[in-house]
Amino acid sequence: MPKKITRTNLSEFMEEFYEKNSLDLRVSMPGRVETYDNVTQKASIQPLFSVRYKMAPDKIFDLPVINDVPVQWHSASIGLAYMHLPLKPGDLGMLIFADRSLDKYLSSIVNENNLITPANPNKIRHHDLADGWFIPGVLPFNVALPDIDPNDLVIRNNKMRVELGDDGTIAFRNRENELIDILMAILTYIRDGRVLTALGPSGWIAADYDKIESMLVLLNTFKRD
């Protein structure tokens, strides 16, 4: 005899149905770079959320590596202006998943006016693992970015660091030296230098000395404390 549908088991069925569908609905999750192609800007990403299935409640499964994932870089003017980082295996970030299939959009052709037409996804996929893109960053708290001033714009690539202060100052540093300091030292050396003449060592004429001094004063306005 068929099982009689009651309010209780119908409620349980609907609860299980919505739970399953919500667990299969991909919105975002952290991920780790396995490989990256800087020419195509595609990566293979290992999702860093695991899953548990009701058929095997005592086991935890890793999600599969997702291949050919577009990597999001800050860009404008259809690629004429951009910032690209040296993405490496092991780098962390966030996977974001689209409402519908990205296949048509990603294969769209940009016309001579830098425009594309809206794409009809034409597939039934919704919030699928296949329709994600990767945003580098979003690190665990124990590896937060070091040496950050709240008022600076900082660009760093390992040993090289550029600091842009909101007060109009700038610094170019490697681990040993700062570029503005070096330029000021060179100008100071030139200003205080002597030229050998028939009459003996001679300094700069007053007009040239003043020009070099003015350069030092201007350069000093860019120097960070």
Do 163 and 173 form a contact (C-beta atoms < 8 A)? yes
What is the residue range of 169's domain? 163-220
Which helix H or strand E contains 181, and what residues bound it? helix 179-191
Whole-number Cα distances in Å, 62 to 37, 136, 184, 188, 213: 24, 21, 56, 62, 65
Please identify, among 96, 111, 142, the residue that sits at the C-terminal boundary of a domain: 142
Phi–psi pair at 112, nearest 5 degrees: -65, -15
In this structure, is residue 153 part of a structural domain?
A: no
Tell me if 1 is assigned to some domain: no
Number of domains into which the chain is organized = 2
Both 203 and 126 in a single domain? no
Tokens of 191: 């200003």
The pLDDT value recorded for residue 200 is 67
Tell me whether residue 147 is in a domain.
Answer: no
Q: Which residues have a Cβ under 8 Å from the Cβ of 194 and sit 6 or more positions away?
A: 201, 202, 203
My answer on whether 97 and 206 are in the same domain is no
pLDDT digits (tens, 9 = 90+) for 21-36: 556 678 999 999 999 9
Q: What is the distance between the alpha carbons of residues 128 and 27, in angstroms, rounded to a whole number? A: 9
Shared domain for 91 and 195, answered yes or no, is no
Confidence (pLDDT) at 67: 97
Q: Residue 30 belongs to a domain with what CATH number? A: 2.40.50.230
φ, ψ of residue 76 to 5 degrees: the values are: -155, 175
Q: Which residues of the chain fall short of a pLDDT of 50?
A: none
pTM: 0.77
Position 15 scores a pLDDT of 63
99 in any annotated domain: yes
Is residue 112 domain-resident? yes
Residue 193, pLDDT score: 81
* 138 and 173 share one domain: no
Do 17 and 101 belong together in one domain?
yes
Residue 187 burial (C-beta neighbours within 10 Å; 0-12, 13-18, 19+): middle
3-state DSSP assignment of residue 93: strand
117 and 188 share one domain:
no
Assigned domain for 148 exists: no
